[in-house]
Structure formats: C-alpha cells, structure tokens
C-alpha cells in the first residue's frame, strides 16, 4: 500500500485554502509558501495515520500556526523593512480596496498568536474550540486573544495602520 495515497488529492483540494491562511498569518507570499510547504512535508511523513484516523487539514493548520509563531518569536526582534500597504496596491483606488489594505496592514502588526486567532476564527471560520485545538491552547485563551486582537485592530485602523502606534499591554 502506498503510504502517500490520497496526499496529492488532499494538497490539490485544500492547498489554496491553506495558502490563504498562511498568507494571512505571515503577510508575505514567499513566507506563506514556505510555511505551507514545511507543514505539508511534516504532514506527509505522518500521512497514512492522518488520512485513516485524523483530520489532516486541522493537523496541517496546527503545524502552520505553531511554525509561524516559532518563526515570529525567533525573528520578531529583528528590524524588517516596512512597506506601506498602500504602496503595494496597484491601480485600484476604491474605498473597499483601501479598507482591505488597511486591515491587512493592521493585521500584520498583531503579535503572532493574536494574528493566528483572527485568521483561524474569522478567515478560516473555525469555532473557538477548533481554534483552541489548532493552537494547542484553552478555549479561554482563544477568547482573550480574540478580544485583545480585535481591540488592537480597532485602534490600529482608527489611527491609521501606516502610523506607528504604541498599543498593547
């Protein structure tokens, strides 16, 4: 029996959703691709067990969240070049697009765990329990991280995501 039976189909079917989640976690296409690839490699090693008795997508999501948080902790103190989200938008000046750009810029300023909660809860449509399982934490932690993240997003968007704002606890 092929230990990777069904893996290709899983990647083809769920790859785009996993890529969107990774992009929302990282805010960078290259990092998102690397995050998805690393998670899929880890899942492939355990594919037979995952495909027969588990939830492969939840497992891959959890790997992505954990890997991103680990990466963020290692490199968060380094200065990264800031690019204005508005500079990245090309030729589309509609209000709706500007709002999405402001939201993406504000989302990029959240700490990794808060960003992960927002992505999993509101972009991936997971319940609090599913988000807690994906992040390996308690439901109460998901609730408090969600509350803190939404409050910070409101402040960032209200003041302008391109401005430097001192917020937090």
CATH 1.10.1740.10 residue ranges in the chain? 1-80
Q: How many CA atoms lie within 13 A of 15 on its CB side?
A: 13
Instruction: Read off the pLDDT of residues 13-23 as tens digits, 9 standing for 90 and up.
Output: 999 999 998 98
Topology annotation, domain 85-164 = Arc Repressor Mutant, subunit A (1.10.10)
- pLDDT at position 157 is 81
Instruction: Read off the pLDDT of residues 70-118 as tens digits, 9 standing for 90 and up.
Output: 876 666 555 444 544 544 444 444 566 667 777 788 888 999 899 999 9
| Domain 1-80: top CATH class | mainly alpha
What is the overall mean pLDDT for the chain? Answer: 80
CATH 1.10.10.10 residue ranges in the chain? 85-164
* Residue environment code for 90-102, b if the CB has 16+ CB neighbours within 10 A, otherwise e: eeeeeeeeeeebb
Contact, 136 vs 66, CB < 8 A? yes
Task: Answer whether residue 152 shows pLDDT above 70.
Answer: yes
Contact, 104 vs 23, CB < 8 A? no
């Amino acid at each position: 029996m092929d230990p990777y039976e069904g893996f290709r189909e899983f990647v083809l079917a769920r790859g785009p959703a996993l890529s969107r989640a990774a992009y929302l976690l990282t805010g960078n296409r290259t990092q998102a691709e690397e995050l998805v690839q690393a998670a899929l490699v880890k899942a492939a090693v355990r594919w037979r067990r995952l495909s027969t008795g588990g939830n492969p997508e939840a497992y891959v999501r959890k790997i992505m969240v954990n890997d991103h948080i680990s990466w963020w902790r290692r490199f968060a103190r380094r200065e990264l070049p800031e690019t204005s989200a508005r500079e990245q938008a090309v030729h589309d000046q509609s209000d709706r697009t500007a709002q999405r750009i402001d939201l993406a810029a504000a989302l990029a300023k959240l700490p990794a765990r808060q960003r992960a909660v927002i992505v999993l809860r509101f972009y991936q449509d997971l319940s609090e329990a599913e988000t807690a399982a994906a992040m390996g934490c308690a439901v109460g932690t998901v609730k408090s991280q969600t509350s803190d993240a939404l409050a910070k997003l409101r402040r960032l968007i209200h003041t302008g995501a391109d401005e430097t704002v001192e917020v937090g606890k």
